[in-house]
Structures are given as C-alpha cells and as structure tokens.
Structure 1
Amino acid sequence: MKKKLIAVGVAAMRAEPSGKSELVSQAILNTSVVILDHSTSGWCMVQTPDQYQGWIEDRDMTDWDESSDPQKRMEESQIVQALWTFVRSAPNLSSPARVEVVRGSRLIVNEQIKDWVSVSLPSRPLDKIGGYIPKKAFRDMIRPSLADKIVADARDCLGISYLWGGSTPKGFDCSGLTQAVFLWNRIPLPRDASQQAKIGKFVRPDPDYGNLLPGDLIFFGPTDEKINHVALSIGSRDYIHAGACVEFGRLSSDKQPRLIKRIVPDFI
C-alpha cells in the first residue's frame, strides 16, 4: 500500500483524471493519502483518511515517510487555526510565499522566532526549515464549550463562496462545511450529507424546534433515504449552511428538515 502526502495548500480531488472533470472534494496540506491507481496523464486515484476517493494530480503530492507526516509526530506539530495564511521563505510579510495553508492543516513546528514559527514542508523533505508562518496562525480561540467552538468556526466561514466539492476555506459545499468545522475540532465526519445522516443520535424536534442545540446537524431531502443537503444548527430554528455562500438560514413551515442528528459528544 503506497502512501503520499499532499504538498500544496489545497489539492483538488476530481471524478476523473482531468482538470476539467467534476470536483468531488479537496485535500489539504500534509494529508496522507493512499494511492489506489495511476493514469498515464500524471494523475493518481487516492483515498483520503475519511475513505473518500478521487483523482489528484501527482505534482500536488510528495512521497510519504513517517518522519515527514505530522500525524506521526503529534507532539511536534500544531494545527493551523487561521482560516488561511501563507508559509513564507523568511520570517517577514514581505518575503515570498512558499505555500498557502488553510485552517485544519497540521504542520511540523521547528522553532519560534519572535512572532514567527519555522515549519517543515512535505514538498521539501531535505529542507529542515521549510518556511515560516505567523505565530498567531496557530493561536486557538478560547471558547467555553466544544459546541460553541464548532459554531464559532462556522461563523468564521460566513460569506465564503459555495463550491461544489469544496471542503476548505477556499470554498465549501454543504457537507464539506460541516465536515470541516467538526474536523477542526477533532471530530471526523464522513464526506457526503447522506453519509453524515447515518451517524449520531436521532433528535425528534419540538414543534417550535426549541430543543435543537448548537452543533446539531439538520438534514434536508425528499426522503430519509435521499438526503441532499445538511446545515449546522446554532440553536432552535437558526442554522448556518453552504447555500449560495456560507450563510444563515432559518427553519419554517416552508423549510422543514427531513432529519436531525446530534453529533457533539458533550450532548450525547
């Protein structure tokens, strides 16, 4: 079983080995992927840690080894908290950017230099420094509960454009948004809305939806077996979802959910 690491900020996963093919998902910097197949045109069929499969250009990846995988060096790595930022060639904002990184990326940290941190990059296995990232990019926000953190992360994404197959701050589809905000808080979810609807604890809503809690997942679709949209509850009738963009929504007689699931461990 051959593995590789994503070596760019956000790698496109496509349905077929072509840049014109449908975007099915995205993989972020330092994600380890299993190589399932190769094409003659420079693409690899991969499987991400959430078991999702798609084609990624080989040039967006580098060979995997345990020493370069942050997941294997947890004590030496940190998760980027900024929605997006850049790893630069020197510890100042005027230096060239080496790679863009988005929230959720895990980087191996080497040392702190004033307001900057030196990090290793998978695309430069022989470079012990790799680049520099602002220290504040790793600073976790202090919030009172896990549910509040998940909702706050979703609020941070308000206004980000809708992107079919998107699962990063470069663009989200509905299930990509919910998967991302939970993963940023160390709760892995399946990739698609129909898959997410199969996990968690069933919640029977009150007539006024007053029993919905922040962090609950609200599913929509023609039947329980045909879920085609998911939103994140922020409490009662209100939710955040990826519609035309990441935006607020509200349950009503014209907008009724098909299913509600409780995922946050604190509430189960």
Structure 2
Amino acid sequence: MQVLEKFADLRQGFIDDSRQGIFDVGILGGVLEGIAEKRFENEIYNFANQNNIPLKVNFVKPQKRYLLAARAYLKKEANAASDNVSELKYGDELEIYDINGDFARVKSMHDGYFAWLDIRDMVHSLVEPSHQVIALRGHVYEQPRIASKQVFELSYGVKLALSAIDGDWAKVSYAKNSQGFVRKSILEDIGLRLEPIQDSIVEFAKKFLETPYTWGGVTAWGLDCSGLVQTVFAAHGINLPRDADQQAKMGQEISIEDIQKADLLFFEGHVVIAIDKNSFIHANANSVRVTIDNFSSEYGRWLKDRFIVAKRILG
C-alpha cells in the first residue's frame, strides 16, 4: 500500500468529519504537515517515523474561552459569509484551537462541535454565575422596570450572576462587568433540570411553537430541526449532538410501528419529536417555524416517504 493510502486510512480511523475534531494534516512535497489536535500526536509521529517522512505538524493545545455575545453563530468556514452551522449563547464554554483572520476554530464544550467563531464574540473569563434563565426568551433591562431600555438578550439556560433583589427584579452581572435587571420570575438556581420523562419532553417542545425556523439556530429566537431537539433534551439534562445525522446515531432503534411520545424520527435531512404514532412537533423549512404536523396530511405523507430511522432516547 502506498504511503498516501496508508495515511488516508490513518486519518479515517481517527476522524472523518470536521465537526468532530481537527486533523488538517496531509503529505505535501514529501512532508507531513498541517494542524491537528494534541490527542493525535503519538499516532502521527509514529506514522512519520515508520514511513520515514519529515514532520511539520502543529499540534495545538486548546485555550478556554466563553461566549461574550448574547448569541452568536458558528460558521462552517472562517469568514462572515460562510454558512451558519450552529449557535452559541452567552456564557457557553469553548475551547479555541487556531486563528484565521477574525475567526477562531473552536470546540463547543456542551456538545463537542467544531466550527469557526468570530473572535470578538468570546472572552477569557466571566463572572461566576449563580442562576439560570428558565424563560424561552428574555432581556436584561437598564433599570428595574419594563419601560426601561433593553440592554441584552437572554435565551433559555443562560447563566447569570445575581447580586441583589429589588422587588420583582433581580440585579445581575453579565458580559464585561456590565450590570442590569432581570425579572426575578425567569430565574432559578443553577443545576435544576426538568424531569426527563416523555410528557415533559413534548410539553417543553410545545413552548417553542411558532418560533421562527432559522438554519443553525438553537434558541427561541430562531432554531432549526436538530437545534430544537438538542435544546429540548438539554433542558432535561440529556446532551445530544448538534446535527440530525449525529443525533440519529444515539439511542435505541425502534420500528415505526412502536413509536411513543418523545421518540425521535429521522428523515432525509430532518428530525422530529414524536407526540404519538401519527403526530409530531418540529422546526421545519416548509412552514418556516416550529409546528405540529401529522402523517395523515399531504406534507406528512411526503415526509414519511423519506423516513430513515426512529430512535428512543429515553430508557
């Protein structure tokens, strides 16, 4: 087997998807060069030694960062015009690997997703949070009154540092030493989770009804099909991968005749949450929002013809 074929086999054995890690290494001019995560160092060194190939690979050690912006899209490539592939919200923990212009290649720590993020949207550290947002959407206000200026958007699960209570309002710290006020009723102590049962999964998903369909989105400001699934299950303490094809590898496979509430149904390029054997809730480009549909409708029949697999995530 030629060296190039051997190396292709080596690479495929570790990572065949840029969403899962960094292994941008190739043989150019007889030299093994590029950039890769530190976890691949031994294998690449061994390959170079065994095949007598000079090595010029940068094995990057990640640095911890946090999202500073209220929301920010992860990009497929290192430029603002690139496709959105996912979304982060304020306080999300990241690992930064390398820089390309105004963008950094990062790993989202809650789902292990690799993509590119504008370096202006991240920061080295944030104030230690004490509470989390339990409303789908919200705002930080300049003063403790609804008529006050809205200064920061909030999404479900965002964590804030509470410093004082003022009637129905909580004074919070966020971003770079900024302070403002949040309705006390939309906050709870960090760590509280919804119980991961079928009814709760579906009822929580229904809270997102009419939310705009937004490719790459994961919040109630706009989300896509797999973003809805990931967000709903994360609220119940169940971390799923970001994209539908990745989610389809999780859970227990079931027949379409055995579908129960909260099962995931996968179609060509799409995923939905089952409500019962016939109806489901999903974020979809057809309606451009989150809707409830059923397999008896024209759209439902069209979708069912593209069925791939059903998975049960809850035991």
* TM-score normalised by the chain length of structure 1: 0.82
Q: CA deviation at 1:144?
A: 8.2
Q: CA deviation at 1:17?
A: 2.5
Secondary structure of 1:112's counterpart equals: strand
Letter in 1 for 2:308: R
Letter in 2 for 1:78: H
Q: Is the alpha carbon distance of 1:69 and 1:175 closer, same or farther for their aligned partners in structure 2, counting shifts above 3 Å?
A: farther
Q: CA deviation at 1:143?
A: 8.3
CA root-mean-square deviation: 2.3
Q: Which residue of 2 aligns with 1:225?
A: none
Q: Give structure 2 stretches of 5+ with no counterpart.
A: 1-61
Q: Which residue of 1 aligns with 2:251?
A: 200
Aligned-residue sequence identity (percent) comes to 32
Q: Where in structure 2 are the equivalents of 1:152-171 lying within 5 Å?
A: 152-171=203-222
Q: Which residue of 1 aligns with 2:18?
A: none
The CA deviation string for residues 165-188 of structure 1, in whole angstroms up to 9 with x for no partner, is 111112111111100111122211
Letter in 2 for 1:172: L
The structure with the larger Rg is 2
Q: Which residue of 2 aligns with 1:232?
A: 273
Distance 1:59 1:30 in 2: 14
Q: Which residue of 1 aligns with 2:39?
A: none
Q: CA deviation at 1:217?
A: 0.5
Distance 2:196 2:84 in 1: 34
Q: Where in structure 2 are the equivalents of 1:112-191 lying within 5 Å?
A: 112-124=165-177, 130-138=179-187, 146-191=197-242
Q: Which residue of 1 aligns with 2:30?
A: none
Q: Is residue 159–residue 247 contact of structure 1 (8 Å, CA) maintained in 2? A: yes
Distance 1:254 1:55 in 2: 35
Secondary structure of 1:180's counterpart equals: helix
Bigger strand fraction = 2
Q: CA deviation at 1:43?
A: 2.0
Q: Which residue of 2 aligns with 1:218?
A: 265
Q: Which residue of 2 aligns with 1:74?
A: none
Q: Which residue of 2 aligns with 1:21?
A: 82
Paired residue total? 242
Q: Which residue of 1 aligns with 2:289?
A: 245
Q: Which residue of 2 aligns with 1:48?
A: 108
Distance 2:174 2:160 in 1: 8
Q: Is residue 30–residue 69 contact of structure 1 (8 Å, CA) maintained in 2? A: no
Q: Which residue of 1 aligns with 2:22?
A: none
Secondary structure of 2:261's counterpart equals: coil
Secondary structure of 2:214's counterpart equals: coil
Structure with larger RCO (C-alpha < 8 A, sep 6+):
1
Q: Is the alpha carbon distance of 1:54 and 1:263 closer, same or farther for their aligned partners in structure 2, counting shifts above 3 Å?
A: same
Q: Is the alpha carbon distance of 1:29 and 1:92 closer, same or farther for their aligned partners in structure 2, counting shifts above 3 Å?
A: same
Letter in 1 for 2:104: C
Q: Is the alpha carbon distance of 1:89 and 1:179 closer, same or farther for their aligned partners in structure 2, counting shifts above 3 Å?
A: same
Q: Which residue of 1 aligns with 2:163?
A: 110
Distance 1:53 1:145 in 2: 27
Matched, 1:33 2:84: no
Secondary structure of 2:174's counterpart equals: coil
Letter in 1 for 2:244: A
* TM-score normalised by the chain length of structure 2: 0.71
Q: CA deviation at 1:99?
A: 1.1
Q: Is the alpha carbon distance of 1:2 and 1:258 closer, same or farther for their aligned partners in structure 2, counting shifts above 3 Å?
A: same
Q: Which residue of 2 aligns with 1:99?
A: 152
Letter in 2 for 1:47: K
Distance 1:213 1:246 in 2: 20
Q: Is residue 3–residue 33 contact of structure 1 (8 Å, CA) maintained in 2? A: yes
Q: Which residue of 2 aligns with 1:73?
A: none
Q: Which residue of 1 aligns with 2:313?
A: 263
Residue number among 113, 119, 134 corresponding to 1:58 in the alignment: 119
Distance 1:234 1:149 in 2: 11
Q: Which residue of 2 aligns with 1:2?
A: 63
